Amino acid sequence: MGGATTRTRYGSTGRRPAALIIALAALFAAASVADARTPIEHARHQAASLGRRVSDARTQAVELQATILALAADVSAARRSLDRVQARLVAAQHALAAARGALEDVQTRLALRARQAFQAIGPGASAAYLLGADSFADLMDRTVMLNSIQLSDAALAADVQARAARLASTEAALESSATERGRLLARIEERRVELLAAFAAQQSALEELVGEHRGATLRVGRLERRMARRAGVLPFGDWAERFLEHMGAPACRDNMVVVVAWQANEFTQARWNPLATTHRMKGSTGFNSVGVRNYRSLTQGLRASAETLTGGAVSYGYTAILDALHRCARDVITAEAIRASAWCRGCSNGGYVTQLIPIVRAYFDRYADLHP
Q: Cα(333)–Cα(323) distance, rounded to whole angstroms?
A: 11
Closest CA to 248 of 328, 326, 329: 326
Q: Per-residue pLDDT tens for 218-265?
A: 876 666 666 566 667 889 999 999 999 999 999 999 999 999 999 999
Q: Which CATH number fits domain 61-223: 1.20.120, 1.10.3470, 1.10.287, 1.20.58?
A: 1.10.287
d(CA 285, CA 304): 13
Instruction: List pLDDT tens digits, range 305-340.
Output: 999 999 988 889 999 999 999 999 999 999 999 999
Q: Which of 285, 281, 279, 287 lies closest to 308 in space, CA to CA?
A: 279
In the chain, where are the structural domains located? Answer: 11-30+233-368, 61-223
Residue 228 amino acid letter: A
Consecutive 10-residue averages of pLDDT for the chain (372 residues): 38 41 43 46 77 85 81 76 78 78 75 59 56 70 70 74 79 79 80 81 85 81 64 87 96 98 94 96 95 94 96 92 97 97 92 96 94 82
